[in-house]
Each structure stands twice: as structure tokens, then as C-alpha cells.
Amino acid sequence: MWSAIVVLSLVGCAVAGPPVTRSRKDIEGFRAYLERSRTDDGLRLESRMLVSPKASAWENSGKFQGDILLNDEQADLLMQEYAGVGGRNAYIWPNTKWPSNTIVYDFNNEFTTAQINAIYAAMREITARTCIRFRRRTASDRNYVLVTGRSDGCYANVGYWASMGVHTLNLARAIPGQGCFTHTIIIHEWIHVIGFMHMHSTHNRDTYVRLLWQNMIPGMEYAFERYGTNVVHNMGLPYEYASNMHYDRFGFSRNGQPTMLPIFNDNNQMGQLQFVTGWDWLRVNRHYNCPGAWSTPINAEELSQGTYLHEYKGDEDAALEDQPQGVVVEDLPQEVLVADMPQDLEAEKVSVVEN
Ligand SMILES: [Zn+2]
């Protein structure tokens, strides 16, 4: 079974609501679901898309809740959360923020130039909208995200885990704009790496969405589990159907019928893949205490429409002052020439063509 829990730091918040009682059958079912999500089933993303064509690529990626790659510590914690060991408030979720707001990354040497550029485009948007920064891995970095291109789906580890070493962000190779290489899906996976789980698994989601259990693939009901604010926190913002981190209507459907419906008008934007919302960015900025993020006013009327595109206007210079001395936060390449792609991890220089 999984390793003992290593608690990194104490940042858990108390969970509202009474303890939940689970049957032994439910607990064993959840354990089996977790184990399945951590086992390679050998299926390619295309095969799963054929079975469930209305769901998004990330929902069809065979991991926990579709696209979350759990490490041992997280699996232990989620099992405790589910089983309500010692009451729902007894365990703590560690701080998984990337140190100095900086994600250290590297690529496997398996993407085309166009794919690399699509990944960089998502990373550039993150740096433009938040105080998150990226730095290419150097030989001395032990903890970093390796961007890989395995064919089984789009998925990522959630947050930073000092004990884990290599974190994964996987994007099944595709033409940019398609499958896992959809711009908003690449950002979705990075937002997992930044530390977020899915919007619809937050504590108050039952006020906003109705689950249609009878339409779900048997055994996948556990993907719709609801979590306390210690696991899925909304950062003081209202529930948002249009969030980049929300399921669509057809995740894990066994019959092509919806598995989740909005209770209020979602303007048909629940689970949309067209854009990342201003609140998605604001949640990231608040999670990392980016300058101005907690004082940014929220327009409730626009918010209620779920389409409010907030331009982050925090003071980026102030954010950079938080960087420790000696850390170089580089500008991301605008475009990469294939001839200049690093051939191995030792080759650090990437040629940049300025537009
Ligand atoms: Zn996801």
C-alpha cells in the first residue's frame, strides 16, 4: 500500500459541515478507483475518446478525476479524506506552492517545434496573467516538472511536492489546436501543476450543479467526489461554471447522456475550452499571494454571468522583488527553431527568434 504520509507544512483549513459516514463498500470502491487511476491501462487517448466522444481530452485521460496524476502522499490524503478518518478535519493537506512562485521545467526531447511553441504559448500566457514564473531546469534542480508526450492522455501532478523529485505534465502529442494541444487544455494542466484541482469538486458545488449518477460509467462516480476547502479552495471567489477547471456536461458518461447539469444559467459555458477566465487567473494570483490579488475588486454582476474576463493588473515588479537573490527568472522563448532545440538535458541554450 502507499507510503506513510509525510506532512510538509501545516496549512490546512477547517472543513465546514458534519463528518460524512461511509460504508465499507464505498471505502473499498474509492480505494479501487484510486488504484485504477494510478495504473497504466495501456489505452491511448484516441481509444478513450471513441468511447466517450462528448467529453474533453483531459476528462478522457484515465487518471484521477480524468487528468490528475496522484503521488503516494496525495493518494493517502484523499483516502483519509474519503474515509473520514478521525473526522473530516483530522488530517492536513500540505503546502504545495512552488517556491518563489517559480516552476522549474524541462522537456523530453520528443516534441515538434510547433508543439514546443504551443507549450511555450501557454506558459507565456500564465506569466502574463499571474506572478507565476518559469525557469528551465539546471543540473542542480532536483524538483522540477518534466513535460512529456506519452500517448495516453493529458494529465499532470497537482502542486509542488518536495519529496517527489520529477513532477509530470503529459500532453499526448497532437497538432497544436487539437486534443491535448488545445491551448486551454495546456493551461488547464499547468494550473494543476500550480496547485489547483477541479472547480466542480469544491465543497459548495451541489448548490450549482446537479449530478446524474444514473448516466455515469459504473465505478467512475468517485470522480465526482466533493472535497473540503482544505483540498479545493475557491480563494474567496464565487463558483464559476466557465472556469478552465470545470468538467463539461458529459464527463464519464456511459450512455452519451449528461452526467452533470448546471442548476443556474451557465450561458452554455460549463466546461468550455474557448478561454481561461479572469477568475481562473485571480484564483492563481490569490493562491500565490501575488501583489494586488486580494485587493482586486470583484464585479458581482459580471461574475454571475460567468464570463468576466479579469485582466490582472497586479504590480509585476513587486512580485519579482520576492524572488530570492541569485534566481534568474528568464523570459520564455517566443519561438524555437528546430535546429536549435536542445538535444539533451545538458544543452541549455535555446535560440530565440524575436518577432
Ligand atoms: Zn484537470
- 276 phi/psi in degrees, rounded to 5: -100, 135
Binned at pLDDT 50, 70 and 90, residue 222 comes out as: very high
Nine-digit cell string for 165: 523529485
Residue 232 is given by DSSP the state S
Q: At 289, which amino acid appears?
A: N
Rounded distance, CA 58 to CA 116, Å? 19
Establish if 88 belongs to a structural domain.
yes
- E-strand ranges in the chain read 68-69, 102-107, 133-136, 144-148, 154-157, 166-171, 209-211, 260-262
Structural domain count, the chain: 1
- 256 phi/psi in degrees, rounded to 5: 80, -5
183 among annotated binding-site residues: no
Cα 194 to ligand 1 centroid, rounded to whole Å: 12
Establish if 2 belongs to a structural domain.
no
Establish if 355 belongs to a structural domain.
no
- pLDDT digit string, tens, across residues 136-173: 999 999 999 999 999 999 999 999 999 999 999 999 99
For the segment 314-336, the average pLDDT, to the nearest whole number, is: 43
Across all residues in the chain, what is the average pLDDT?
81
Q: Is the pTM of this model over 0.85?
A: no
Cα 343 to ligand 1 centroid, rounded to whole Å: 30
> Given this model, what pLDDT does residue 302 score?
54
Nine-digit cell string for 81: 479524506
Binned at pLDDT 50, 70 and 90, residue 215 comes out as: very high
Establish if 342 belongs to a structural domain.
no
Residues 6+ apart with CB under 8 A from 282: 235, 237, 293, 296, 298, 310, 312
Establish if 4 belongs to a structural domain.
no
Establish if 35 belongs to a structural domain.
yes
Nine-digit cell string for 62: 484515465
* Strand 144-148 relative to strand 166-171, pairing: parallel
192 among annotated binding-site residues: yes
155: CATH: 3.40.390.10
More confident residue, 330 or 121: 121
Rounded distance, CA 290 to CA 322, Å? 10
For the segment 283-295, the average pLDDT, to the nearest whole number, is: 93
155 forms beta bridges with 170
Binned at pLDDT 50, 70 and 90, residue 312 comes out as: very low
- pLDDT digit string, tens, across residues 67-115: 999 999 999 989 988 887 655 555 677 889 999 999 999 998 899 999 9
- Per the CB < 8 A criterion, the answer to whether 99 and 322 are in contact is no
- pLDDT digit string, tens, across residues 19-38: 567 899 999 999 999 999 99
- The question of whether 189 is a catalytic residue gets the answer yes
Cα 210 to ligand 1 centroid, rounded to whole Å: 20
> Given this model, what pLDDT does residue 303 score?
54
For the cut 60, the answer to whether the pLDDT of residue 275 exceeds it is: yes
> Given this model, what pLDDT does residue 91 score?
62
Establish if 152 belongs to a structural domain.
yes
Domain span including residue 171 = 24-312
For the cut 60, the answer to whether the pLDDT of residue 353 exceeds it is: no
Candidate list 59, 73, 81, 189, residue with the active-site label: 189
Rounded distance, CA 115 to CA 169, Å? 14
Establish if 254 belongs to a structural domain.
yes
Q: Could you count the other beta carbons within 10 Å of the beta carbon of residue 96?
A: 22
Cα 318 to ligand 1 centroid, rounded to whole Å: 30
Rounded distance, CA 220 to CA 216, Å? 7
> Given this model, what pLDDT does residue 320 score?
33
> Given this model, what pLDDT does residue 53 score?
92
